[in-house]
Structure 1
Amino acid sequence: MLSDLQVKNFALIDQVNINFKKGLNILSGETGAGKSIIIGALDLLLGARANTDVIRTAKDAAYISAFFQPSELEIINNILDEAGVEKEQNGILIAREIKENGRNRTLINGQLATLRMVKKISRYLIDIHGQHEHQLLLDQSSHLMILDAFIGSEIKELKNDIKDNYAKYQVLKRELAEIDIDDSERVRELDILNFQIDEIEKANLQIGEYQSLKEKYQSLSHGEEIYQNTSEVLNALSGDDYSEQGLLDRMAILKSKLESLKEYNKKLAELNQNFADIYYNLEEFIFELGDYCSSFNYDEEELALTADRLDLLNSLFRKYGDGVEEILEYLAELQEKRKKLENIEEKIAQIKQEKNELKNILLKKAEKLSELRKKQAGEFEAKLKAELQDLAMEDVKFELSFQKKDLGESGIDRVEFLISPNKGEELRPLTKIASGGEISRIMLALKTITAGLDQVDTLIFDEVDSGVGGETAARMAEKLAYISKDRQIICITHLPQIATAGSHHYLIKKEKGKNRTYTHIYALDEQQRIEEIARMIGGTKMTDKTIAHAKEMLDMAAEELYS
């Protein structure tokens, strides 16, 4: 249930804190006092579009927060867990800040959250019904949903089964639409695929070859320079036919001279060793350089072949991917696509068979679901009619009209509420003929017969008594009291008959300060409640008679509704 509500700098409200309780909570006050501001604040808190107009004049931001203690807290906490939002063990705190600069914030349990997340969990927290929310009844597409909610668990498993299978059916339809192409288009696609595959396969690409080819091309394209310079260095180091000694030979002599001195002291021994290392390293270098020079082969034909291979690879890179590995991956994709196109007729036949089989299964299940709905429709009609008759619509006739529609995730039924509010009138669609007062009574009747089926702990009725009075209002009060035995009800009303049925009563009052107007909310004690009921009965002029009448109404309500 909704335990605490705090509203700050919102419309005419400077700051209010309300502690709602179990049972039927009544909100009353004079017209224009700001009763619907509370509902507007809750509506914004639970995800409605924010507008800076709601911020109190001269303030930078409006703030709304509410603490809920729902029976479905475990389900809500699982949703929060999946979203990475902190959870609480004894309830859930939702807050929203609407700022003048547009940087609004929403928090769940003190952690930043999205409005989408708030909307997702709000279905388990609160259900608001007011003049605007009556549009649900005026939307014919919602009538099937209302009937299914009444039937409840008996069709839940079958509905979920149809929904899941219909999703699979839609996947098959999309897959079929993607591959079901005409023969000429398939031939064109195959021609393109074959050309691309053939071009890549003929290249016989090898991983790592591109870098190797680039190095080879660099060597071959500078072959003359490489051979001349390396030969010159080799000759200088090792000697040639025209030189008696190369550098290595001269170093050998110097090495011998140093070696003859190594015994004289430690430093000479160290210098000798260092020079010997240089000598042997140079000797090894000369061997390697000699091998390179003797094996180096500059071939113009090989250079041309290498250049052609590089051109081919670069051409393939431009067409099919950045690098050999990427092209080979693309080749695998092309081959798989070709395989599918070559076997497309077989695949189409397979999918069509699966789709038709699944559709037949769905139609059988949908027919069964339709039978169950029609079987329960009579009980729904009878119960709703009885509730409406109890709400002073004695001559009402009410029926469900079933029409067949195309298969969908909810089955094959299109349901519409038909009503005749007055004697002698034929049944017509509710969406076309019901008045505001009748819609209010139908909504309350629906909530009465489905009170035990909702997952929501808190129901809010914003002037659901619009357009009614007298005995009808008294009957409405009984219905609200009945629903509040299992649910928390918050009801904004202007009728004393309904106000007396409340187990808790709050007065919303507009008061003028020195320079501002404020809306305040007061929890009424027994005497204050009597005075408020008297005001609702007789207006601002209260007499001993209206006070006595108010007390009598409260006593009767306590005895008849809660004894």
Structure 2
Amino acid sequence: MLRRLTIRDFVIVDRLDLEFAAGFGALTGETGAGKSILLDALGLALGGRGEAAMVRSGRERADVAAEFDLPAGEGLAAWLVEQELPADEGMLILRRTIDMGGRSRAWINGVAATLAQLRAAGEWLADIHGQHAHHALLRTDAQRALLDAQAGAGALVAEVAARHREWQRLLRLQREAEADSASSARERELLAWQLRELEQVGFDIEEWAEINAEHARLAHAASLIEGAEAAVVALGEGELAVCSVLGRLDGRIAALADFDAGLADVRELISAAAIQADEALHALRRYRDRLDLDPGRLAELERRIAAVMEAARKYRVQPEELPALAQQWRERLDTLEATADPARLAAAAQAARAAFESVAAELTAARLPAARRLSEEIAAAMQDLAMAGGRFEVALTPCAPSAAGVEEVEFRVAANAGQPLRSLAKVASGGELSRIGLAIQVITSRDSAVPTLIFDEVDVGIGGRVAEIVGKLLARLGQDRQVLCVTHLPQVAACADWQWRIAKREQGGETLSEVAPLDDAARVEEVARMLGGVNITATTREHAAEMLGRR
């Protein structure tokens, strides 16, 4: 459940540190006092949309943090481990900031997180029903999504969509093969010829480096031999050969060092130079002896290099890019060959259709009992919401196969006894739509595993006895989980386990929102205000106390 909400510089909130209790809590106050702003702030922490307008005027950023108990079960805990995010002592703190430029940052338990991660974590923790949520239920896709959620069919829905995409892909390839068989054959022939040409070249990147190195050596073999020979002569042959000169010099300095030990270091340096010069002479002789003028091998290498360069120029790539080009051609040729046989593609498409129909049938089988259950429960809730005799049906109508399955999902309703069932989208009365939408939200929320349910003025358009019934429904939900409700109805507020009043105040020329937890006496005053408006009489207070006493 939600334990704490901290808000800084959010719209008309400067600083709020709110601690929440379990059960059903009502948030009340004058219109425009900022009741829904609290829920907007919580929605931001849960990964909702953020924008620069949320930052309080004159401030650099808005900052919201929500602290939740970690829900029981392994789902969210396992997700946190998978995402490499900490779960600190059974708590989860979601934090979000928005700056004046609209840039957003997010954290989970103090670790930087993406907005997608924040939103994913929020889906385990709280479910917010807005005051216009019933309007979203007029859309067939929203109705289908709600039914599938009640059926626990998320995995099946995803598989049906994937199978349908594969079936349609194969059908498209089949049509293309039938329409473009001649051009496809020409392209296949060209690609096959080009691949054979590259295979004849036999290009290999490692071999290419070796060939170029060997070619450079053979192309300059005469110069290398001449240079090596000159170096051998300079080092080891003739009166002035370096090795001979260094040897004689080493002997002279050695003799002198016998008379002056100060020459020992010089002698050591000359001796080392003599040794190195001798090693260089032997290495040069071995190198010279290995060098070979091989015109035949040089010509062979030049032909090999010319063939590679010609292929590279022909296809306008660098030699090193030829293997990648060949791979690209092979993949294209494989695709063309796979689509070259319309009959084979037709068989594959038929198999894909069968696979789609099989998993679509499983989805239908999952939807049917959920539709019956949902129909019965929402119809029963309608009876309590001053719609006696009303009926509700989640209708499944066969339709052309689609990514959503093989049936259309439609919510149908008869608000009064004797009326025919009609599409929810055609319900004329706004009040009826509000009540039906509320029934749907309450019933579906009851089956949700989310520990915190939030209702933002979902009781718009109702009043009197119906409002009291709504309050009792929410109180019943609050027995199993935490329920927060922004309401303007005293009947709903009176059913709450606890209540806060949200009000505006002036400070330094600014309008700010503040929140006051209400004790029993203050609740009487607040419910009386909701009942009687500006002039609160003793009778109004008695009525308010009576309503609160009936909880």
**TM-score when scaled to structure 2?**
0.84
1:13-162 superposed matches below 5 A: 13-72=13-72, 74-150=74-150, 152=151, 156=153, 160-161=155-156
Deviation at 1:101, TM superposition (A): 4.0
* Aligned with 2:165 (options 147, 170, 177): 170
One-letter identity of the residue aligned with 2:463: G
1:476 to 470, 473, 485: 470
Does 1:504 find its partner at 2:498? Answer: yes
Counterpart of 1:167, as a letter, is: A
The counterpart of 2:488, out of the listed 488, 494, 501, is 494
Task: Between 22-31 and 40-49, report the one with greater CA deviation.
Answer: 40-49
Deviation at 1:368, TM superposition (A): 5.4
Post-superposition offset of 1:344: 5.5
Q: Letter of the aligned partner of 1:187 in structure 2?
A: A
For the 8 Å contact 1:255–1:275, the answer to whether it is kept is: no
Which of 354, 358, 372 is 1:360 aligned to? 354
How far is 1:252 from its partner? 10
Q: Alignment partner of 1:412: what SS?
A: strand
Query: Which among 422, 431, 456 is matched to residue 428 of structure 1?
Result: 422
**Aligned partners of 1:271, 1:375: CA distance in 2, in Å?**
98
Match of 1:95, SS? strand
Q: Distance in 2 between matches of 1:189 and 1:276?
A: 71
Q: Given that residues 7 and 13 in structure 1 are in contact (C-alpha distance below 8 angstroms), is that contact kept between their aligned partners in structure 2?
A: yes
1:47 match: secondary structure: coil
Preserved contact between residue 263 and residue 269 of structure 1 (Cα < 8 Å): no
Offset of 1:323 from its aligned partner?
Answer: 5.3
> Contact between 2:250 and 2:267, CA under 8 Å: does it hold in 1?
no
Give deviations 1:305-331, integer Å, cap 9, x for gaps. Answer: 54443333333445486556x645654
> Alpha carbons of 1:445 and 1:336: their partners in 2 closer, same or farther (altered >3 Å)?
closer
- Where 1:201 maps in the other structure, the secondary structure is helix
In the alignment, is the contact (CA less than 8 A) between 1:36 and 1:462 conserved in 2?
Answer: yes
- When residues 310 and 488 of structure 1 are mapped into structure 2, their CA distance, relative to the original with a 3 A threshold, is same
Shift of 1:524: 0.7
Measure, in 2, the Cα distance between the counterparts of 1:258 and 1:339.
78
Equivalent pair of 2:247/2:274 in contact (CA under 8 Å): no
Which range is displaced more, 301-310 or 186-195? 301-310
Mapping 1:26-425, distance limit 5 Å: 26-72=26-72, 74-150=74-150, 152=151, 156=153, 160-161=155-156, 163-164=158-159, 166-168=161-163, 170-171=165-166, 173-174=168-169, 177=172, 181=177, 182-205=180-203, 208-219=206-217, 221-222=219-220, 225-226=223-224, 251=244, 277=275, 281=279, 284=282, 287-288=285-286, 291=289, 296-297=292-293, 299=295, 306-317=301-312, 319=315, 327-328=322-323, 331=326, 334=329, 338=333, 341=336, 345=340, 352-367=346-361, 369-370=363-364, 373-374=367-368, 377-422=371-416, 425=419
Local SS of the residue matching 1:128 = strand
Cα deviation digits, residues 95-143 of structure 1 (max 9, x gap): 1122224443222111221221121122222122222322321222221
SS of the residue corresponding to residue 123 of structure 1 reads helix
2:293 is matched by which residue type in structure 1? N
Q: How many Å separate the matches in 2 of 1:16 and 1:379? A: 43
1:450 aligns with 2:444: yes
The alignment yields a C-alpha RMSD, in angstroms, of: 3.9
Tell me which moved more, 314-323 or 1-10.
Answer: 314-323
C-alpha deviation, 1:544, in angstroms: 1.7
The change in CA–CA distance for 1:73 and 1:16 in structure 2 (over 3 A counts) is farther
The correspondence for 1:538, drawn from 516, 529, 532, is: 532
Aligned with 1:498: secondary structure? helix
- What is the CA-CA distance between 1:528 and the residue it aligns to? 1.0
Do the aligned partners of residues 223 and 501 (structure 1) sit closer, same or farther apart at CA in structure 2, a change above 3 Å counting? closer
- Rg comparison, structure with higher value: 1
Residue pair 2:167, 2:352 contacting (<8 A) in 1 also: no
Q: Deviations over 1:59-103 (max 9, x none)?
A: 222221111125356322322322232222312111112222444
Q: 1:3 to 1:443 in 2, by over 3 A?
A: farther
- Specify whether residues 246 and 210 from structure 1 end up closer, same or farther in structure 2 by C-alpha distance, changes over 3 A only: farther
Contact kept? 2:173, 2:339, Cα under 8 Å = no
Q: Distance in 2 between matches of 1:435 and 1:513?
A: 43
State how far apart, in whole Å, the 1-side matches of 2:70 and 2:129 are. 19
> Which residue in the other structure is 1:528 paired with?
522
Instruction: Pick which of 462-471 and 337-346 moved more.
Output: 337-346
Taking the aligned partners of 1:264 and 1:143, their CA distance within structure 2 comes to 106
CA distance in 2, matches of 1:188, 1:398: 61
TM-aligned CA distance change 1:93 to 1:246, over 3 Å:
same
**Structure 2 residue matching 1:511: 3-state secondary structure:** strand
Residue type at the aligned position of 1:524:
L
Paired with 2:518 and 2:376, the residues of 1 have a C-alpha distance of: 39
Shift in CA distance, 304/413, structure 1 to aligned 2, threshold 3 Å: same
Deviations, residues 158-203 of structure 1 (Å, cap 9, x unaligned): x634643652553465367568634323322333323322322322
Count of matched residue positions in the alignment of Structure 1 and Structure 2: 541
- In 2 relative to 1, CA 358–198 (structure 1 residues): closer, same or farther, beyond 3 Å? closer
Do the aligned residues in 1 keep the contact of 2:493 with 2:527 (CA within 8 Å)? yes
- CA–CA distance in 2 between the matches of 1:269 and 1:35? 97
TM-score after normalising by structure 1:
0.82
- Preserved contact between residue 234 and residue 289 of structure 1 (Cα < 8 Å): no
Which amino acid is the alignment partner of residue 11 of structure 2?
A
Name structure 1 gaps, 5 residues minimum: 240-244, 559-563
Counterpart secondary structure, 1:191: helix
CA distance in 2, matches of 1:274, 1:92: 73
User: Is 1:70–1:124's contact at 8 Å kept on the other side of the alignment?
Assistant: no
1:551 aligns with 2:549: no
**Compared CA separation, residues 553 and 231, structure 1 to 2 (3 A):** closer
For 2:256 and 2:33, the matched residues in 1 are separated by 114
Deviation at 1:336, TM superposition (A): 6.6
CA distance in structure 2 between the aligned counterparts of 1:253 and 1:79, rounded to whole angstroms: 77
Give 3-state SS (helix, strand or coil) of 2:7's partner. Answer: strand
Structure 2 unpaired stretches of 5+ = none
SS of alignment partner, residue 472 of structure 2: helix
Distance 1:33 1:354, change over 3 A: same
Whole-Å separation in 2 of the counterparts to 1:250 and 1:56: 88
Mapped contact 2:29–2:501 kept (Cα < 8 A): yes
* CA distance 1:486–1:451, change in 2 (3 Å): farther
